[in-house]
Structure 1
Amino acid sequence: MIPGRPGRPGRPSQGVRGASRILAAALLAAGLTVAAGPGTTATASAPATGLLGGRATTGNCAAPTLQTLDRLPGPGSFAVVKALGSPGISAGSSGHVPVYWTGAKVHRVPLPPGYPAGEVAAINRHGLMVGTLRNPSTNAAKAFSFRIGNAKVRLLPGGIAAHDVNDAGVIAGVRSGNTGVLWKHNTVLRNLTVDTAAGEYGGSFTAVGINNAGTVIGGGTRYIEGEWVGVGLVWKAGTRGHARTLLPQAAPNEGYSSVATDISRTGRVVGHRLFTWGSPVYWNRPYTQPPTDVTGLPGLGPEAYFTAISPNGRLTVGYAPNRWADPGEERGAAQAWTGGAMIKLPRLDPLGTAEAHAAADDGRIGGYATGVPGPEEPEEPESAYPVIWRCVGGV
């Protein structure tokens, strides 16, 4: 089984943090405003639900709050927050192009010729953003870095995806040939490796996260008990050394995938185990034991995923998709975990869904939430808005 997440029947798959994430939905047009600041552009305003202009739903921390951000206008303007920088700065994608936000205002990342699509995947505390550019017509992809105020992005040598960056400016991603790589100062710092002498690995693997200590996480495939299964990988800090495979590598007589999605400063790795559906888990150093399972949200089915952990490790986030909900039933929800019971984050609409994809030390959570069609536009698909949650679980 290949690492990842099964798609909702009859709908495009909505993937977790990684190279295969392609998020899709159409824009439900709702008025235009003009965004000020760097990269000024016209923006589509938030849905008409009292959540306009980035206004939070409540004014204190008695309960989680939900803030909507602006989107780029036009068809296909699905938007999601994938990265959280210093207070007031976030980034991700809108309309399938990389963007960042100052407050609630959206700004385009300048795109080079030939790459009209992409997303920002991460930001460090010094404002360095990294992500991936794509050409849907040719399936070509490029890894890039960018700082607010720069006139253009910087393409990373040989890179086809950039997934994370630590505060030292070391970027983790994938190079041509589909193997993990680290860059610094626009130079390849380390080509990541797996120990093929210790077992048979697939020809491709990715680096998806790096912490300030330099520990890198990723994933690949390995031939175990007669089946190719997905495995989480961890590389120690430094310039050499093969990956360690996260345990367990396979259940008795049946393969499944272990997926690592993010890592904290202390080395806690979060992700999920995937067989028929995903189950949220975490691994602690020194990664010699199987992961610890975390109970998902009640009433939303067994399927759930961890996508991100705050650098200090206090806040872990993800989603429970509830993919088989019948019409009128409660659908998927974004979730947060601080060590106790799983917390369900507010939605934009009771019949909408939501996913969380980023967590910051100050308690912010980034992701998206959907609105659903009203009676005046019954044929319109659901519309996804970039959101930030605050005041979750006392963090």
Structure 2
Amino acid sequence: MNGRRARQAHGTRRGITAALTALAALAVAVPAGAAQAAQAAGKPCVPSIKKLRTLTPTGGGSVTGLGPRGLSVGRAGGKPVYWRGDRIRQVPLPAGYTGGTVAAVNRHGLMAGTFTAPGRPPAAFSYRAGAPAATLLPGGGTVRDLNASGRIVGERLEDGRVVGVEWQGRTLRRELAVPAHVRLRAIGGINDAGQIVGDGYGWNEEYAGDYFAALTWSAGATSVAAELPPVYPGDTYSTYEPREIDERGRIVGVFTYSRAMESSGLLWTPPYAEHPRHLAPAGGRTAGELVDLSPTTGVAVGTAADSPITGPWPPETAPPVQAQYWPGDGPVLLLPRLAEGGVSGAHAVDDRDRVGGSAADASGRVHPVIWTCASRQAYAPPA
């Protein structure tokens, strides 16, 4: 697959992720480490799907990060926002920018995200609740994640090439180096040890073709990306997108077989000597992804969907996309919808058994939502 098709396929999958959203009916209790951790901390665990406020009567938005003391972050009405419990606040927009999103928040309440505007390059920022203005990060670009020490990662476009970047405070700490035969596509996440994950594509001399590469960087300022093992060596039709890395170095991401537009979650485990483990979408669906991983409990979340090529057919008969939950072992499960037949997607998870995302109500209106005590709501669909 050539580089141009690689970028097109990558954009399509990222678009699918952005379109996902909601959740249904009754749940079956499932034991999980996250629930046990919450109970051990002496905090009550009450299963619910909490709808958060939006900026407009028509709704819209999603939770993309979960922080301390009831703080959550994301996007609503096309604007970067955060919530304190039920209260919503907009991150102040700098002159010339009209929208954006808060991509992540760390355990100290530091937020990071991206401002956007038509005809302007994206601007990376950091922010603390209540501050009169956000801090613009040098060099601009799109923010993907940050860690407990305030290191922020993302990428920018420079002369038609994607460049990975890491900021520390108000300064650019480093540009993320890749091997000479690899071009970067996107950055995924960073853990508290400073390990970073992302993905790219390169030229394989042995197979005389482009291939997609899953990448990881160590915390060292001069480190060059190492390639993670693929599922099928030499396969030029499969893509790998690491999305998050936890404190033990476990990495989750998305595997896509482009010829059939089928996808699934992946799990790489240190020391990354073995091929990654497939995590098939919940309920026998033919497309799905895992996009976030809790820091220490091993729980991963994402969205289950279906391939428009392999089924069901016709595509409009496929069930709506639905948030999925992997407890760290066994099969991937589903989270209940907000309304029967309403779409949903999960985009963030924390160690307190909470999952953030978006979900549609009975009228089809999409809401930012948080599943509390998510492990006790996750269920295996009927066979």
Q: Does 1:236 align with 2:221?
A: no
Match in the other structure for 1:183: 167
Q: Does 1:152 align with 2:133?
A: yes
1:267-326 Cα deviation digits (max 9, x unpaired): 100001111221111101122221011232124x22110010001142111110236566
Instruction: Please give the residue correspondences for 1:122-141 in structure 2 after superposition, counting only pairs within 5 Å.
Output: 122-135=104-117, 137-141=118-122
**1:164 paired residue among 145, 158, 170:** 145
Q: Does 1:354 align with 2:356?
A: no
Q: Following the alignment from structure 2 to structure 1, what is the Cα–Cα distance between the partners of residues 297 and 176?
A: 25
Match in the other structure for 1:314: 298
Q: Specify whether residues 142 and 321 from structure 1 end up closer, same or farther in structure 2 by C-alpha distance, changes over 3 A only.
A: same
Match in the other structure for 1:392: 374
TM-score (norm 2): 0.81
Cα deviation, residue 66, structure 1: 1.1
Q: Specify whether residues 249 and 386 from structure 1 end up closer, same or farther in structure 2 by C-alpha distance, changes over 3 A only.
A: same
1:108-148 Cα deviation digits (max 9, x unpaired): 1100011111101110111110011111x204211000000
Q: Is the 8 A contact 2:262 2:307 kept in 1?
A: no
What 5-or-longer segments of structure 1 have no aligned partner? 16-21, 26-48, 50-59, 374-381
Match in the other structure for 2:177: 193
1:344-384 Cα deviation digits (max 9, x unpaired): 101111111111000111111000011354xxxxxxxx321
Match in the other structure for 1:14: 16
Instruction: Please give the residue correspondences for 1:246-261 in structure 2 after superposition, counting only pairs within 5 Å.
Output: 246-248=228-230, 251-261=233-243
Q: Is the 8 A contact 1:222 1:228 kept in 2?
A: yes
**1:304 paired residue among 283, 288, 303:** 288
Instruction: Please give the residue correspondences for 1:11-50 in structure 2 after superposition, counting only pairs within 5 Å.
Output: 13-15=15-17, 23=19
Q: How much is the aligned-residue C-alpha RMSD, in angstroms?
A: 2.6
* 3-state SS in 2 of match to 1:240: coil
* 3-state SS in 2 of match to 1:393: helix
Q: Specify whether residues 83 and 253 from structure 1 end up closer, same or farther in structure 2 by C-alpha distance, changes over 3 A only.
A: closer
* 3-state SS in 2 of match to 1:140: coil
Q: Following the alignment from structure 1 to structure 2, what is the Cα–Cα distance between the partners of residues 104 and 321?
A: 30
**2:322 paired residue among 333, 343, 346:** 333
Q: Is the 8 A contact 2:20 2:345 kept in 1?
A: no
Give the number of the structure with larger relative contact order, counting CA–CA contacts within 8 Å between residues 6 or more apart: 2
* 3-state SS in 2 of match to 1:298: helix
Q: Following the alignment from structure 2 to structure 1, what is the Cα–Cα distance between the partners of residues 57 and 236?
A: 46
Match in the other structure for 1:53: none
Cα deviation, residue 337, structure 1: 0.8
- Give the residue type in structure 2 aligned to 1:79: G
Match in the other structure for 2:272: 287
Q: Following the alignment from structure 1 to structure 2, what is the Cα–Cα distance between the partners of residues 304 and 195?
A: 30
Cα deviation, residue 164, structure 1: 0.9
Q: As a proportion of its length, which structure holds more helix? A: 2
Q: Does 1:109 align with 2:81?
A: no
* 3-state SS in 1 of match to 2:194: coil
309-318 vs 244-253, which deviates more? 244-253
TM-score (norm 1): 0.79
Cα deviation, residue 23, structure 1: 5.0
Q: Is the 8 A contact 1:231 1:249 kept in 2?
A: no
Q: Specify whether residues 319 and 5 from structure 1 end up closer, same or farther in structure 2 by C-alpha distance, changes over 3 A only.
A: farther
Q: Is the 8 A contact 1:329 1:351 kept in 2?
A: no
Q: Following the alignment from structure 2 to structure 1, what is the Cα–Cα distance between the partners of residues 146 and 167?
A: 9
- Give the residue type in structure 1 aligned to 2:266: V
> Quick one: percent identity of the two aligned structures?
32
Cα deviation, residue 210, structure 1: 0.8
1:218-253 Cα deviation digits (max 9, x unpaired): 112212334333322100111112101111175545
Q: Following the alignment from structure 1 to structure 2, what is the Cα–Cα distance between the partners of residues 5 and 192?
A: 21
Q: Does 1:277 align with 2:285?
A: no
Match in the other structure for 2:190: 210
User: How many pairs are equivalent?
Assistant: 337
* 3-state SS in 2 of match to 1:14: helix
Q: Specify whether residues 249 and 297 from structure 1 end up closer, same or farther in structure 2 by C-alpha distance, changes over 3 A only.
A: closer
What 5-or-longer segments of structure 2 have no aligned partner? 1-5, 26-43, 378-383
Q: Specify whether residues 113 and 302 from structure 1 end up closer, same or farther in structure 2 by C-alpha distance, changes over 3 A only.
A: same
